[in-house]
Amino acid sequence: MMRVIGLTGSIAMGKSTTAAMLRRLGVPVYDADAAVHRLTAPRGRAVAAIAARFPGVIDRTGAVDRRLLGPRVFKDVKELKALEAILHPLVKHEERRFMQRQYREKRRIVVLDIPLLFETRGQGRCDAVWVVSAPRLLQTQRVLRRPGMTGDRLAAVRARQIPDAEKRRRADLVIPTGLGRRPAWNAVLRGLKKQGKPDA
């Protein structure tokens, strides 16, 4: 029987680093953010629908330009929901294809890396949920180092996400990323052993 771990956490909490650790340990990881990038890249399956709903956001290469799309959706709930209505079904389709492939390969453990796992009520399809967490100040510092990020954009993102404290309360495992890699690595190893990975 394949065990499914949901990996989630708020923006800039260290989820990508944790996912890389899991891959290093041989665990297949489905990356929902990477799926969105594929879908909105040149010839991506979401490009035509986004272009129709949000005119003027496609760049010269045929990709969705996030710098143009972002301001139109971050502060407008109606527009954001319209974008999600396009992307979410396609992202879930990619997830199903990933899961089917892992079943065929008889994997014992797989990870679904989904930033809005709780917000989209996706925890129901997971056997366990791991939440990646760091102190709020460190999170803010990490976010504001990203190109194009501002305090206002961070506030808009946080407004869409369940607070970190609530995510930690709901988690089966909390992976701390504010104290360096070793505590996070140890938490990942403990979590995998609990899920039945003998060589973790």
pLDDT in tens, the chain (200 residues): 899 999 999 999 999 999 999 999 999 999 999 999 999 999 999 999 999 999 999 999 999 999 899 889 987 889 999 999 999 999 999 999 999 999 999 999 999 999 999 999 999 999 999 999 999 999 999 999 988 788 888 888 888 899 999 999 999 999 999 988 999 999 999 999 999 876 76
Q: Please identify which residue in the block is written with the tokens 């504010």.
A: 178
Q: Which amino acid is at 101?
A: R
In sequence order, the β-bridge partners of residue 7 are 113, 130
Q: Could you tell me if 62 and 48 are in contact, meaning their C-beta atoms sit under 8 angstroms apart?
A: no
- Residue 106 φ/ψ region, left for φ over 0, alpha for ψ in the -120 to 50 degree band, beta for the rest: left
How far is 112 from 165, CA to CA, in rounded Å? 21
The whole-model pTM stands at 0.92
CATH number of the structural domain 1-28+108-195: 3.40.50.300
What is the C-alpha end-to-end distance of the chain, expressed in Å?
A: 18
For residue 20, the SS3 value is helix
Both tokens of residue 19? 């996912």
Domain map (residue ranges) of the chain = 1-28+108-195, 33-106
